């Protein structure tokens, strides 16, 4: 089994990576409307008095310390949302008890990763004959200082098992407990490419919307298309 201590620490480069998020989940305005944690607390308390949906919009704030939220950056809500809206079913490096911000080296890599999981999910929905799913393509700037490098671990290792996350959950839990900012690892759905699993949003300096994409479902995802004209938010 791969242990965190066996993985080299990255010295820290300013990088650009990519992410795909479902367009049905809008940006969370409150994260983007404030410059620091103090402003956030004041505005949160004021809005909580009049907005009964605020808690649902922000998610579980107790899962991410305020000092880890990169207030003031472009796209703060995109950086923070994966840590406050956690998928209880988990992901490759999370058992569902904490969030992870997944990024890819190319938009094509991000599409391949999301396409796999969308096909897996929608194939379980009976009588779904045709559907169109729209996603935002995001460009993320971040620094990987202190993250651990799992790209030298071969794809044959159990942490890269296609659908069994037992070993990758153990590595992810160890990474989270050690307060390590994240992992660089090989893409399973796009071999030869690289992804990152960020355990905190504090490494992010910007996330901006770059494009929209549609996935067409007809028994499976039959096509992925970039939408030329950005849709109105």
Q: What is the pLDDT of residue 233?
A: 43
Q: What pTM value is reported for the model?
A: 0.93
Q: What is the pLDDT of residue 111?
A: 98
How is 191-227 classified by DSSP, letter by letter? TT-EEEEES-GGGEEEEEEEEEEEEEESSSEEEEEEE
Q: What is the pLDDT of residue 231?
A: 44
Q: What is the pLDDT of residue 56?
A: 83
**92 domain residue, yes or no:** yes
- What 3-state class would DSSP assign to 189? coil
Query: Which residue range forms the structural domain that includes residue 92?
Result: 15-227
pLDDT (tens digit, 9 = 90+) per residue, 151-197?
Answer: 999 999 999 999 999 999 999 999 999 999 999 999 999 999 999 99
**232 domain residue, yes or no:** no
**21 domain residue, yes or no:** yes
**4 domain residue, yes or no:** no
**214 domain residue, yes or no:** yes
**Rounded Cα distance, 172 and 3, in Å:** 10
Q: What is the pLDDT of residue 63?
A: 95
Looking only at the bridges linking them, the beta strands covering 182-186 and 148-149 are parallel
Q: Domain total for the chain?
A: 1
Residues in the chain, pLDDT under 70:
228-233
**9 domain residue, yes or no:** no
Question: 97 to each of 19, 69, 172, how far by Cα in Å?
Answer: 21, 18, 11
């Amino acid at each position: 089994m791969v242990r965190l201590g066996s993985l080299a620490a990255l010295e820290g480069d300013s990088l650009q990576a990519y992410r795909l998020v479902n367009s049905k989940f809008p940006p969370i305005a409150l994260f983007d409307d404030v410059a620091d944690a103090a402003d956030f607390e004041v505005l949160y308390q004021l809005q909580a008095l009049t907005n009964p949906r605020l808690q649902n919009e922000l998610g579980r704030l107790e899962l991410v310390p305020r000092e880890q939220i990169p207030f003031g950056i472009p796209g703060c809500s995109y950086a923070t949302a994966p840590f406050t809206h956690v998928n209880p079913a988990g992901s490759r490096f999370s058992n569902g008890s904490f969030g992870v911000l997944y990024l890819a080296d190319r938009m094509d890599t991000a599409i391949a990763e999301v396409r796999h999981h969308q096909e897996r999910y929608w194939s379980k929905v009976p009588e779904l004959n045709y559907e169109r799913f729209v996603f935002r393509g995001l460009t993320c700037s971040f620094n990987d200082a202190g993250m651990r490098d799992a790209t030298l671990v071969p794809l044959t290792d159990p942490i890269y098992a296609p659908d069994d996350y037992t070993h990758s959950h153990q590595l992810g839990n160890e990474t989270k407990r050690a307060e390590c900012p994240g992992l660089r690892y090989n893409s399973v759905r796009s071999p030869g490419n690289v992804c990152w699993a960020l355990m905190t949003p504090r490494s992010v300096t910007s996330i901006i919307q770059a494009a929209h994409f549609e996935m067409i479902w007809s028994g499976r995802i039959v096509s992925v298309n970039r939408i030329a004209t950005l849709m109105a938010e």
